[in-house]
Amino acid sequence: MSFYGVELSSRLLLGTARYPSPKVLVDAIKASEAQVVTVSLRREAGSERSGQGFWSIIRSLGVRVLPNTAGCHTAKEAVTTAHMARELFDTPWIKLEVIRDDETLQPDVFGLVEAAKVLNEDGFEVFPYTTEDLSVADRLVEAGCRVLMPWGAPIGSARGLNNAYGLKAMRAHFPDIPLVVDAGLGVPSHAAAAMELGYDAVLLNTAVAEAGDPVAMAKAFALAIEAGRMAFAARPLEPRDMAAPSTPVFGMAALGG
């Protein structure tokens, strides 16, 4: 799997917010074997973090950082935050979030496309957090995005894949674009289901960070993602309307009265 030419062996991207302690965060990242972690420039620069100490922890893990524009409500705000993140982390990667509604945290698709155009022109490699709407996805690709990150459900809701049909349609519509289910997953089976649809990766945060045992949950998600991807590659059976016997009847003995 690759994003913008960067080859990765892990299909799990892990967020770094809301963990009970730095040690639990480090142990969860190691257990997940994730090679990419997301970091909110606004959240982690706040007073609840220890500033440079947090960046040192992340750097010591040897993972690739995907900064995000979480908390931005306009395209202009997101673009400004992205430029700050590029300067701080020295990476062209940016997870682009533009949020309209604070209740559902649903992407503002109009602001998202607007910001994506600007950032792609400015040399960023954009990972847009979007919906499963195909027309929006088309506009993001036209704007220069080479990765799409549709939500499974609202951020932190743990509801899984609210629209599996729409996600499957997106996979069919963009066979050559890396697709990542981002947000709303709650348990490992949700991640496996996403991978069985043919998605390339899954991005998680709350489901791991707020679990009773974040380290064990990180490992469980990693295993589920691997199993789901193997199942997709094995070409699973399509659902059938009628029963299909697993034992052949030809050649079986007929018992007479």
Give catalytic residue positions.
95
Q: CB under 8 Å, gap of 24 or more: what pairs does 162-171 form?
A: 163/132, 164/193, 164/197, 166/132, 166/133, 167/132, 167/194, 167/197, 167/199, 168/197, 168/198, 169/132, 169/134, 170/132, 170/134, 170/137, 171/197, 171/198, 171/199
227 burial (CB, 10 Å; 0-12 / 13-18 / 19+) is middle
Contact present, 228 and 193 (Cβ < 8 Å): yes
Q: Which residues contact 155 (CB under 8 A, 6 or more apart)?
A: 105, 183, 184, 206
21 burial (CB, 10 Å; 0-12 / 13-18 / 19+) is exposed
Angle 93-95-96 (CA atoms, 0-180°, nearest 5)? 120
CA distance 152 to 164: 8
Contact present, 94 and 68 (Cβ < 8 Å): yes
Residue 121, helix vs strand vs coil:
helix
Residue 129, helix vs strand vs coil:
strand
Residue for token pair 């894949």: 161
